[in-house]
Every structure is written in C-alpha cells, then in structure tokens.
Amino acid sequence: MLRGFALVAAVAFLCRHFLSEEEDVILQPGKSTVMSWIRERELSFIERLTANILKAGPMPKHVAFIMDGNRRFAQKAHVQRQEGHSQGFEKLAETLRLCLNLGIHEVTVYAFSIENFKRSKEEVDGLMELARQKFSRLLTEHENLERHGVCIRVLGDLTLLPIDLQQLIAKAVVATKAHNKCFLNVCFAYTSRHEIANAVKEMAWGVEQGLIKPSDVSEVLLGECLYSSNSPNPDLLIRTSGEVRLSDFLLWQTSYSCLVFQSVLWPEYSFWNLCEAVLQYQLSYRSLQKAGDLHREGQALQQMEADRCCVAELLQHRGNGKPMDAQSRQKELLNYTASREERVHCFLNALQHKRDTVFSDLSSQAVVA
Amino acid sequence: MDEEYGGFLSETIVSNGRNNSRLMEGILKQQQELLGMDSSKYSVEFMKNGTDKQEHQVLSCQSVVKVLSPDDGRLSIVQAAQQLCRAVELKEKTSKDINVTVLDSLLRESKNIPDPDLVLKFGPVESTLGFLPWHIRLTEIISMPSHVDVSYDDLFGALQRYAMCDQRLGK
C-alpha cells in the first residue's frame, strides 16, 4: 500500500512540475519585455524541478537582502570597485527574476547606508552616478513596468542625496505607485535607527497636529510610521559575503524574521544560494510562526490593557462618585477603542498624504532628458 | 580568564515573564555552586522591563549579568516614544527636536544596556526573536546549536570567530 501511495505522490509531483504555470509575470509573445531592473532569465529544467520541490513547502512572501561583497568581488576579479558595484546591480536584476520565479513578490534591498557616505568621495560619487543611470533607465521602461505591475519604493532619508537624484527617484516612485503585482523596496540613504527615530518624530508630529494622543503610541502604530509601512515584515533576511551582523538594516521589521547569513559574495549569488536560504526559512518556519503569533497576542493584550487604563482615567476625571457597572464599563471601553482607532486612521492618512506630497512635488520638479 | 572577557552577558527568554524568575533563580544557584566564595564579585541584575534602581559599580574586571525579557526590546522603544510625545504635548519639545541621538540617550537613561558586541544565539531557530532591536545594529550574531552542556571550547571557538570579524562601519 505504501508503494502505491509513493507512486501516486511521484506522479502527482511530476504532473505538477511539467504542467505548472509560472506564478510570475506572464510574458506576452512578440513584445519587448526587457527591463533593466528585472533580468530575463529562464530557469533550467533542474532549477524548475528544485523550485517546485521548494514550493511544496511554505514560501516566504517578502525577502530582504543585504547585498554585501561587491568590493571584495572586485578585488578578487581584479576589476575596479565601480565595476564590482555594477555587477552587483546586474545580480540584483537577476535575483529579482529568480524571486519572481519562486513566487516571491516583494523584495527589499539595502542599496546604500547613511554610513556609506563615509567612503571616499570618488566611491560615493560613483555610486550616486550608478543610481542616476539606473533610475533614469527605469523611467524609460515605464510601459514594461506597468505591464508587469512592478512597484518601486525607495526608503530612506532622501534629503541627504543630490537633488537631481531625489527628483529621479521621486519620478520612479510616483510612476509605479499604483502597480501591485510585485514590489521592490530599495533602501537608499537609509539606516534602521534613522527610520525608527523618524517614525517617533512623525508620531510626535501627529501629537503636535492634535491628530493623536501620546497614549495612542503603541508598537503597532510605530510600525505603521516606518518608511516600510506599506509592506508586511520580511519573512526572510539574507546577508551575503559572510558577515554575520545586521548593519542597521530593518532592525524593527526583522525581529521575527528568519535570518540567513551566506558566505557567497553578492555578485556571485546564484539560484542555489537562494534555494538554500529558502530551505532554511522552511526549517525555521514553525518556530517562527509560533513566536510571531505569541508576539501578536501579546501586542493585542497590551493594547487592550492600555485602552482600559485610559478609560479608567477618563472615568475618574468625569466621575460623579457613582461606581460603574461592568456592562457600562465594557461599553465605555469599546467606545474608547473605536475612537482611538478612528484617530489613528486619520493620522495615518495624514502621514501618507504628507509623504505622497513630498514625492509628487519632487517628481514634478524633475526634468528627464 | 573571566577578567579578560569581563563585560555583559545577557540572556533572553522568548515565552513569558514567569520563566525569567526561574532563570534568575537558576543563575543565582549556579553562581553559588560554581563560584562559591567568589560569587559576590559578580552581580546579577534582574531587569524585566524595570528601570535600573541602583547603579552597579562596574569595575573593569567585573562581570555583570543582566537577564532580559522580550519587553526590553520593541516595548522599550515604544515607551521612549510615548515619553517624547508627552513632552511634545506639553510643549517641552517639538517634533523637529527628535532624532537618533535624542532617542538613543532616552533609551540609555532608563536602562543602561550597552550595545552588545556579540550575540551568542543558542538553538536551531534562525532569528533574533525580538532581542534588543535598537541595540544590535552592529552586533555580530553567532549561532550555537544548544545551550545545554556548552563546553568552554565551544564558547572560545565563538569568541575566536568574533575576533576575525572585520567591521568596516560603512566605509
């Protein structure tokens, strides 16, 4: 009986492999679908087989990459640093395609840290120029980006960048804003601490504007004020080149993510490296789900407790000496929670609007040659 | 040997606050058993999202053990954020005054936990599970299979790996 079962399983698996449609973007025949940011890359037979085996298990929906090792690669290959960074970009384009092939529709990458401004002027200028080229090129591929539903977001303190680059970035972000088939978040002029401090600053702004109260500040609200608020937390964080630290990248968002450190240098990253990381994610999946669920339960309890305290305070202020019965107390609590949620909702809309305005203003200033 | 590696060792438990007290008891008991007369040289501090009530004198050769809980992570940052927002409400500060330095010093004020240089992570789960997100921005994370029967060699091996790390700090 076991042999029969194994046979059925094998047949089912092979059918799935040969008949499965790629979950990624469907390429229309006859039209140019070349995009500089997402390479054309067919999976080989064995790669497709492996992909399908992996997809039988839980798959990450959002993967973050610390693309480390460009300079060491350049040294190894006896080329200029700038060439290392260039190849790094090519590898990003290829890896995005591989992620789409695996059904991973959201990717966040650490392209440029605020700490990287400490590098030589030559290298920093070179990286800014590379960014200019890539964003400019992106803007010419608008049709393909729309067809494939690619949404580009840039996270960081963009005011630290040259103004022309800010404008190019803004244009790319605004142009792809409505796309929703796959998401690429590029962290540029970014550190996690700056992001967290900025989120706190925005909440303080909300208090200044009278939109929220200090007691509305919570773990959930802080998360919604980060640059990455439109994305779910990464399921998997991969760092290449053998370093085993987070280097100020997504510290808040990856608290419950699977961390995989791989020794391969970024420009040499392969499909197999990606599969290895996904496998690691699958092995940690159950524990991480449990930890995440437990954490979310804790967050909900904390929020309820905070709401109760606020209601108690309010009732005390309002109090006429008469103790309230449990039913009225419960009603007050529900009312308070509803009004807090409404306040927070308005605040988050105002924040989103503020951010959108910055981008649309910059975008309309941009003059693309 | 302890003197050379004097510094902070911290452990965190993922599940709930009850386990913290048991861990604390366990540590104190072990301290007595292993260190005997020397145990008074090493202070053990029970944090549990509380504040430093007493400043322990940290001599260069003294080891301090701080036992943390999940609340010392994101929740501490949230509490600092609430404090800043209250200050803004009272017009003692403006939102423009808030930056990394301000938030960092506020976090250090209530709980003086220095940024760990090294995190030794025990167990098969590849995640920090909420451990001190703010503090671990540059921390080397070395995984060990289990905390049960950890040998001196295992620990020393991890320290050697740490010594080989090359931090370029963005440069």
Prediction ipTM score = 0.88
Q: Evaluate whether residue A110 is within a structural domain.
A: yes
Cβ neighbours of A256 in B, within 8 Å: 127, 129-130
Phi and psi torsions of A275, nearest 5°: -65, -40
Chain B residues in contact with A244 (beta carbon < 8 A): 140-142, 165
**Alpha-carbon span A21 to B121, nearest angstrom:** 40
Contact A261, A280 (CB under 8 A): no
How far is CA A130 from its chain centroid?
22
Asked whether residue A315 is domain-assigned, the answer is: no
Q: Do A197 and B100 lie within an 8 Å CB cutoff? A: yes
User: In this predicted structure, what is the pLDDT of residue B8?
Assistant: 35
Q: Give the residues of chain B that fall short of pLDDT 70.
A: 1-20, 37-62
- Note whether residue A314 is domain-resident: no
Helix (H, G, I), strand (E, B) or coil at A136: helix
| pLDDT, position A16 | 54
- What pLDDT is attached to residue B59? 41
Identify whether the C-beta of residue A134 lies closer than 8 Å to the C-beta of residue A58.
Answer: no
Helices (H), chain B: 17-35, 74-89, 100-110, 152-163
What is the distance in angstroms between the Cα of A97 and the nearest Cα belonging to chain B? 26
Domain contains A160: yes
Tell which of A120, A251, A301 to mutate to test the B interface (max B CBs under 10 Å).
A251
Residue B90 forms contact with A (CB below 8 Å): no
Distance CA A111, CA A100 (A): 20
Residues with Cβ within 8 Å of A188's Cβ and at least 6 positions away in sequence, in order, are A111, A112, A131, A154, A155, A156, A158, A161, A169
How far is A96 from A106, CA to CA, in rounded Å? 9
pLDDT attached to residue B22: 77
In chain B, residues 109-148 whose CB comes closer than 8 Å to chain A = 124-131, 133-134, 136-142
Q: Which of residues 20-79 of B touch A (CB under 8 A)?
A: 70, 73-75, 77-78
- Residue A321 placed within a domain: no
Q: Quick check: is A312 in a domain? A: no
Query: In this predicted structure, what is the pLDDT of residue B116?
Result: 94
Residues of A in contact with B128 (CB under 8 A): 254-255, 259
Residue A260 lies in domain: 2-307+326-365
Contact A355, A201 (CB under 8 A): no
pLDDT of residue B51: 46
Which of these, A308, A355, A354, lies nearest to A332 by C-alpha position?
Answer: A308
User: Rounded CA gap, B110 and B101, in Å?
Assistant: 15
pLDDT of residue B168: 79
CA distance A344 to chain B (A): 14
Nearest residue of B to residue A124 by CA position? B171
Alpha-helical regions (H) of chain A: 2-19, 45-55, 70-76, 81-101, 121-140, 142-148, 163-176, 192-208, 219-224, 271-318, 326-365
Below-70 pLDDT ranges, chain A: 1-34, 320-322, 366-369
Position B71, amino acid: D
Q: Give phi and psi for A233, each to the nearest 5.
A: -65, 150
pLDDT tens readout for residues B84-133: 999 999 999 999 999 999 999 999 998 888 999 999 999 999 999 999 99
Domain count, chain A: 1
Phi, then psi, of B112 in degrees rounded to 5: -85, 80
Tell whether A317 is covered by a domain.
no
Residues with Cβ within 8 Å of B162's Cβ and at least 6 positions away in sequence, in order, are B117, B118, B140, B142
Domain holding A207: CATH number? 3.40.1180.10
Question: Does some domain include residue A293?
Answer: yes
* Dist CA A290 CA B86 (whole Å): 35
